[in-house]
Amino acid sequence: MPSPSNGDPWQDFIGHEQLLVAFDQASGMQAVIALHSTALGPALGGVRMSLYADRPEPEMAARQDALRLSRAMTYKNALAGLSHGGGKGVIFGDPTNKSVEVLHAFGRLVSSLNGRYITAGDVGMSVADMDTIGQTCQWTTGRSPENGGLGDSGILTAVGVWQGMRAAAAHVWGTPELAARRIGVIGAGKVGGRLIGHLIDEGAVVYVVDPSAAALTAVTTNYPQVQVMDSTEQLLAIDLEVLSPNAMGGYVTMELAQTLRAPLICGGANNQLASPAVADVLAARGVLYTPDFLVNCGGVIQVAEELNGCDLDRARDRTMHVFATTQQVLARAQQEGSTPVAAAESLAEDKIATGAFSEPEQQVV
């Protein structure tokens, strides 16, 4: 993969331990694995598959994604109380046309790290794909129950986002209740679709946009009261109280941060902010952003449980603590006069430094 256009090949390394860039000639697999930290234990993080066709330098975008996301996984795992560091994999390719040979080659690549990185599913990857990777790699999670896993990690990812949203609502409005709140959901897939279910059960007024007709049909079949928007522009024209990005990252741009009317952003997508500076603009405008790596940790909690007995109820109980951890982060940000992103990173770094994984006490609001 080529060097960045500015000539600095190290620009995206922030404390990373290792970056693997691999090409398997037999299968044609091109992949990147970034290990950010193994200080707390083996790095744990998903693998995504994409062509990055919307980026000017697609192969470089894949590398940058792996570096950014692996760092976020270090913080996510620490905040979730897991004895794992952060890592991320990217297979550069078309997720609608993947071969068994490519998946097997990626499994062998992970195996070459001898347990320093444990992989799981992410964007563009299915449970069946993880089963296939697992045929050549023992360090694979996110597998089907038939193959020793807990299935789709979107189940608990949605639970964590829901709990984070409730904690943030309590911070903004004094109550965690979401009944009658106007919530705009971007992405109705395996996380967004399940999140919508939790929101509807609470009595929220939900608007959704998604380019997939199948995803929208599934959501509206289960929840006919959901209002489907034709575009994100139409969604943002509504007087929303919560914006919930649950698709690909980078959605919250500087332009959006300067114009968004909703006072709260909370969603399951990774890397929601287009740049770190967006967090400062949101804070200056009084828009509360709950860091994605804080609230979307339910999925990694679920796959980590596959390494410790496959008890989904235990993993769900741990995920419910996202409410208390979000309260802790928002209180810290307020006390320190920092953004929630800075407060979450600081808390995670404290946990990494001390190895302290005591669960925060649940607070009744």
CA dist., res. 134 & res. 103, Å (int): 9
Question: In sequence order, which ranges of 40-176 are alpha helices (DSSP H)?
Answer: 58-79, 100-111, 127-134, 154-173
Alpha carbon 298 to chain centroid, angstroms: 9
**Catalytic choice (76, 88, 98, 190):** 88
| Exposure b/e, 185-210, CB count within 10 A at least 16 = b | bbbbbbbbbbbbbbbbebebbbbbbb
Question: In sequence order, which ranges of the chain are alpha helices (DSSP H)?
Answer: 58-79, 100-111, 127-134, 154-173, 192-202, 213-222, 232-236, 254-259, 277-284, 292-295, 298-305, 312-319, 322-336, 340-354
Q: Which residues contact 164 (CB under 8 A, 6 or more apart)?
A: 266, 290, 294, 295, 296, 322, 323, 326
Q: How many CA atoms lie within 13 A of 86 on its CB side?
A: 25
Helix (H, G, I), strand (E, B) or coil at 208: strand
Bridge partners, 44 (sequence order):
86, 118
Q: Which residues contact 166 (CB under 8 A, 6 or more apart)?
A: 176, 177, 178, 323
The verdict on whether 88 is a catalytic residue reads: yes
Q: Which residues are catalytic?
A: 88
